[in-house]
Amino acid sequence: MRMQWNFRLVNTRVLMLIFLLLPVFVFSQTVSKGVSDFNKGWKLLMREENKAQVRDFDDASWRSVDLPHDGSIEGSFEQRNPVGVHGGFLPTGTYMYRKSFFIDAANKNKDVYIDFDGVYRNSEVWINGHYLGKRPNGYITFRYELTNFIKYGAEKNVLVVKADNAAQPSSRWYTGTGIYRNVRLAVLDKVHVRNWGIAITTPSVTKTKATIVLKTTITNNLGSNQPVVIKQILLDKEGKQVTVTRDSLNLTRKEHIREQQLTVQTPHLWSDKDPFLYTIITQVIYNKEVKDEHRTRYGIRHFKFDPQEGFILNERKLKIRGVCNHHDLGCLGAAVNRSAIKRQLQILKEMGCNGIRTSHNPPAPELLDLCDEMGFIVMDEAFDIWKTAKTYFDYHWNWDEWHKRDLEDQVLRDRNHPSVFIWSIGNEIPEQTGSDQSGSRIAAELKSIVSNIDPTRPVTAGNNHPDKGNNIIKSGALDLIGVNYHHDEWKHFNSYYPGQVFIGTETVSALQTRGEYKFPSDKLMRWGNTQNPVTNDIYDFTCSAFDQTRAPWGSTHEETLKVFRRYDFLSGMYVWSGFDYLGEPTPFSWPARSSY
């Protein structure tokens, strides 16, 4: 199977090379009002260029590229690459991106914004030579306002992005490098809905009636008292109007928040088996014209986690049978590909999977959109690192300055997705242990940040030391006690943590190679520990598919499922992992480069 994998990878590389040699026609995009796809027509230099942010810089020799783009997957697997075994032995670096575009002169009185779903990492952005800012976190979505620096009509605008992923190692898995998620340009009226400014909740849901509460934040950049109407329209799956509400108000400040309610009779509830989605249209109307409009897909559902009964969705007991997934797409790399994500979710759904944990970072919006459509129960995870490092150049350097902003932006962006049921504030955080109690203080702070924005969902963390001395658990910040592995201790959970709710945040870590079978089939192997060290000269880089091999910290699927199915209070578990990913090829090292 490893030979087959290598053959497919070579073929993928050949196809990529053929594509890169084809002639590419570069165009400059002209943008009119609204939100536009901003992925096409970029220029790329895969090294740092200190003068590239200058508007009139000559980039004619640069390579033409469309986004999303992952430069690391284009490189060669080399043992000397500094990402090492965890990063899959692929190269990184500093990349420069430039894009020329024009804004229609009719938009001189509009506000202009640029939205990035994710740039890995340490991104810096310039517009027409003006510096807009830096976002170190490679997984976070962010926006910059361009209004004061834009040129209109025949005058060219130049947007420049620097992605600096040169310092390695920066992660425990393959990250990719570059603008690997989608980019959009928004040209909006001076009065518009603020970015992520719609908050939707359903405080009351029964089979006969549901109440939807909408809080809309309106930005007023006209600088004067503006009479406006906020109109909310609820459509069913077929596009038929279910109900509507409208409010009039005077905008006397730069920002206003307006709360409205919609009542839905006999609501069609969202579930993993029937992921029914309504559409809420939010309109901002002034001078008798619709000046801004947003469409939000929304699922009505209610749920709870019970200490004895586990997870209950719409009054139905349900075991969460989920998987953990990294953001990359295997040999396709980290560049977002909606079709590839959908294919993975379809295969998982056919297997009986109903949950996804976004391990260990904010996901691409496309993943959550698909989980909404297909019925997955998502654990939306924020961090793999707090203040204490796991690799030398990781996020711990940015923690103090950025963790609050990054977590707020994640929750604001994702809070309206019906598939998101759980917020996770961390994975296997070193601050679980230690006498300084910093884990307790940070956990309490992160819980407060989440709950101030979204008090409707429980907060957890993946604890690989789930004992009574765990600082994160002791903080009382976790609504769900998240446990990584330790399946043989699950049965004692109620005595360890009376009145608390269990969730298996990460489980199993069994090791398998499809089509490889080792005999005797009933012999269990614990690879990678001191009793059975893995040395590359005596193994063939395969693991048995008999479910007889596991990592030393993990368990086989069978022995885990036996415990999981036995106890009602075990609300759910997320198996490591749903799909193989680049990097972390336990139990082997070079030349292995993808997980087992």
pLDDT tens digits, one per residue of 196-227: 999 999 999 999 999 999 999 999 999 888 89
Torsion of CA 360, 362, 366, 369, to 10 degrees: 100
Q: Does residue 382 register a pLDDT over 70?
A: yes
Residue type, 449: I
Strands 255-265 and 209-220: antiparallel
Instruction: Name the 3-class secondary structure at 577.
Output: coil
How far is the C-alpha of 290 from the C-alpha of 23, rounded, in Å? Answer: 43
The DSSP annotation for 365-409 comes to HHHHHHHHHHT-EEEEE--S-SSS-SSTTSGGGTHHHHHHHHHHH
Tell me the pLDDT tens digit for each residue of 553-588.
Answer: 999 999 999 999 999 999 999 999 999 999 999 988
pLDDT bracket for residue 13 (50, 70, 90): very low
The pLDDT of residue 107 is 95
Average pLDDT over residues 422-445: 96
What is the pLDDT confidence band of residue 32, given thresholds at 50, 70 and 90?
A: low
Respond yes or no: is residue 289 known to be catalytic.
no
Q: How confident is the model at residue 11 (pLDDT cuts 50, 70, 90)?
A: very low
Q: How far is CA 8 from the centre of its chain?
A: 27
Q: Which two tokens stand for residue 253?
A: 């400040």
Q: Coil, helix or strand for 450?
A: helix
d(CA 226, CA 48): 47
- Contact indicator for 417, 371 with CB cutoff of 8 Å: yes
Check residue 451 and give its pLDDT. Answer: 98
Q: Is the pLDDT score of 437 beyond 80?
A: yes
Share of the chain above pLDDT 90, in %: 86
The torsion defined by the Cα of 41, 46, 49 and 54, in degrees rounded to 10, comes to: 10
3-state helix, strand, coil in the chain (%, to 5): 20, 35, 45
pLDDT of residue 5: 34
The average pLDDT across 89-110 equals 97
Length of the chain: 596
Residue 23 has pLDDT above 70, yes or no: no
| Averaged pLDDT for residues 300-308 | 97
Q: What mean pLDDT is predicted for residues 86-115?
A: 97
Residue type, 396: H
Cα–Cα distance for residue pair 488/534, rounded to 1 Å: 25
The residue ranking higher by pLDDT, 26 or 529, is 529
CA 237 and chain centroid, separation = 26
Residue 469 to residues 389, 458, 500, Cα–Cα distance (Å) = 21, 22, 16
Mean pLDDT rounded to a whole number for the chain = 92
164: phi then psi, degrees, rounded to nearest 5:
-110, 100
Q: Which of 124, 381, 431, 506 is catalytic?
A: 506
The pTM of this model reads 0.93
Q: Could you read off the pLDDT of 242-297 as tens digits, one per residue?
A: 999 999 999 999 999 999 999 999 999 999 999 999 999 999 999 999 999 999 99
3-class DSSP state of 153: coil
Instruction: Supply the pLDDT for residue 151.
Output: 97
Choice among 428, 431, 445, 559 that is catalytic: 428
Q: Is 428 a residue of the active site?
A: yes
Q: H-type helices in 106-223, by residue range? A: none
Copy the structure tokens of residue 344. 């993975």
Question: What is the model's pLDDT at position 271?
Answer: 98
451-471 pLDDT tens trace: 999 999 999 999 999 998 999
CA nearest 95: which of 43, 137, 151, 41? 43
Task: Tell me which residue of 446, 383, 453, 448 sits closest to 416, measured CA to CA.
Answer: 453
Q: Does 14 have pLDDT greater than 50?
A: no
pLDDT at residue 403 tops 90: yes
Q: Where are the alpha helices (DSSP H) in 311-382?
A: 338-351, 365-374
What are the structure tokens assigned to 210, written together?
Answer: 């549901």
Q: 222-233 pLDDT, tens per residue?
A: 988 889 999 999
